[in-house]
Amino acid sequence: MGEAKSSVEEIRRRFDADVERFSNLNTGQSATVDAPLAMSLIAEAAASVTPKARHILDVGCGAGNYTLKLLERLPNLDVTLIDLSAPMLERAIERVQPVTTGVITARQSDIREMDLPESGYDIILAAAVLHHLRTDGEWWDTFKAFQRALRKGGSLWIFDLVESSQPAIEVLMRQRYGAYLVSLKDEAYRDAVFAYVAKEDTPRPLVEQLDLLRAVGFSQVDVLHKNGCFAAYGAVKA
């Protein structure tokens, strides 16, 4: 048996103490491959697909980077922010409030425990959060909740750590990610990142997630970008 994964409380405490690292709109989180590109792509895609959006939901909003990028394209939207961490939410509100005249709602919660309003949002953002889902049922329920919470024509956009469906490719992608982390700092940094991924995260293959999005009722599914262990992808509700 492998080591038990981090509890929700352990994850919350880690993010409570890590606000500054998630507050850079230009770089995103440095350990994440192509974070600035993914933020821009998701903002552009969401604005193009859902140009008449009025209300966005940012799940696992962190310090608000993805919402800020989207507001550059679609200004003055109503914004609902959800995160486990109260300090993250406080920073997100502080950063988002000056750039929208819309209503900002913040909720400290685990998405698995929330009852999202039916047809309540035009765009849902979920960046670097879904890899904390553990079971098949949690993945199904969360994707179904997103589909139900979107209005007709609404869109869901995800950027996350993903696995490969093929073991040999997974090994290759992990090696490439390790080399990237070493290039940022050193081998000790690589080992530390791999250790907390092993302890905290349960990513799923990208292909599996795309199939699940279709299964829960999304009509159109697409991939914006994939580089190694990270991918940006989305879906539209008919």
Residue 28 confidence (pLDDT): 62
Residue 51 confidence (pLDDT): 97
Residue 10 confidence (pLDDT): 84
Q: What angle do CA 178, 201, 118 make, to 5 degrees?
A: 130
The Cα 96–Cα 126 span in angstroms is 17
Residue 102 CB neighbours (<10 A): 17
pTM of the model: 0.94
Over the stretch 82-108, which tens digit does the pLDDT of each residue have?
A: 999 999 999 999 999 999 999 999 999
Residue 236 confidence (pLDDT): 98
Which of 144, 117, 2 has its CA nearest to residue 57?
Answer: 117
Residue 185 confidence (pLDDT): 93
CB 63 within 8 A of CB 35: no
Average pLDDT over residues 144-164: 98
Per the rule left: phi > 0, alpha: psi between -120 and 50, beta: everything else, 76 is left
Quick one: tokens of 145?
């909740």
Q: Judge whether residue 7 has pLDDT over 60.
A: yes
Q: Judge whether residue 30 has pLDDT over 90.
A: no
Q: Judge whether residue 209 has pLDDT over 80.
A: yes
Average pLDDT over residues 157-180: 96
Over the stretch 224-235, which tens digit does the pLDDT of each residue have?
A: 999 999 999 999
Over the stretch 67-82, which tens digit does the pLDDT of each residue have?
A: 999 999 999 999 999 9
User: What is the rounded average pLDDT for all residues in the chain?
Assistant: 94
Domains of the chain: 8-162+202-236 (3.40.50.150)
